[in-house]
Amino acid sequence: MAIIRTGHRYIDIESGKVIDSWFPQSNSNQNRSCLAEKVGLIRGEFFEITIKSVEEKPLSTEEIYLRLHLISERTVKPNEINLDGIFNLLPNVAWTSAGPVFPHKVDALRSLVAREYHHLTVPSIDKFPRMTDYVIPSGVRIADADRVRLGAHLAAGTTVMHEGFINFNAGTLGESMVEGRITPGVIVGKNSDIGAGASIMGTLSGGGKQKNSIGERSLLGANAGIGISLGDECIVEAGLYVTAGTKVKTPEGDVVAARELSGKSGLLFRRNSQTGAVEVIPTDSSRWGGLNTALHNND
């Protein structure tokens, strides 16, 4: 089914190149304004765009922005939409307190907005803006908005603490605590907890094709990490990084590569404190207690 949206884009006046695009959820002509536009470095205009199929490869900056919006609006889930060529279609942008401009225009912008008694700050130079400047999903808490990119998928009941980070084409599918890093291609199931400093290998790691995930009611401990998927009711103890090739001792005494356990439920991965060997034993979410339901009632 085709998707038709009305958007507003900023264009660099000198080059005529598109800087960014915003698609209000009302799907109407909603204007934006900023000092960079007032002083003549960029201009804004309304436009309409059609995506015939989210499975087709995107062809423009505007189309990539719409696809990122669709993920953050929860219209589609991560990995359900084609983002091929995203890094070639998104320009590097200086995201400033006076509006978005190309990085080589920052000095000119600083001089021009000084007349407006504006002290220019540049929080980021990147291809991706903050999600919250474009989409505000309902029922979530985000302690530091700089750490959630446009294209992140945050289900209602998600809490992202100060050290939590969610990249584009990644996110949560239900109530979750995020204090670690959720990288592209990774999805986290309902009632799971990504501990402080923890990380999950995504599609930008290694060959870029492995799509790892975490199931429901699972815990990735503080400063832990995985290069495999976890099923439901799983735990990785704090500080343990389990890659696909990690040798793991099973309860039966066998030693297998962790990839053979990828996606299986009811497993606790831990390191034996005496031998240093990585072990796996049966477990369930009662071992770590689960999420605090009051904390994730975010409306």
Alpha-carbon dihedral sign for residues 139, 142, 145, 149: negative
Alpha carbon distance, N-terminus to C-terminus of the chain: 32
Question: How far, in Å, are 49, 83, 228, 230, 278 from residue 239 at the CA level?
Answer: 46, 33, 16, 16, 12
Question: How far, in Å, are 76, 164, 224, 267, 269 from residue 161 at the CA level?
Answer: 24, 5, 17, 26, 24
Question: Residue 174 in contact with residue 64, Cβ under 8 Å?
Answer: no
Q: Say which of 37, 62, 179, 237 is annotated catalytic.
A: 179
46: left (phi over 0), alpha (psi -120 to 50) or beta: beta
| Residue 45 annotated in active site | no
Question: How far, in Å, are 47, 161, 165, 263 from residue 197 at the CA level?
Answer: 41, 11, 10, 22
Residue with tokens 């070639």: 88
**Half-sphere exposure of 270 toward its Cβ, with a 13 Å CA cutoff?**
13
What residues act catalytically? 179
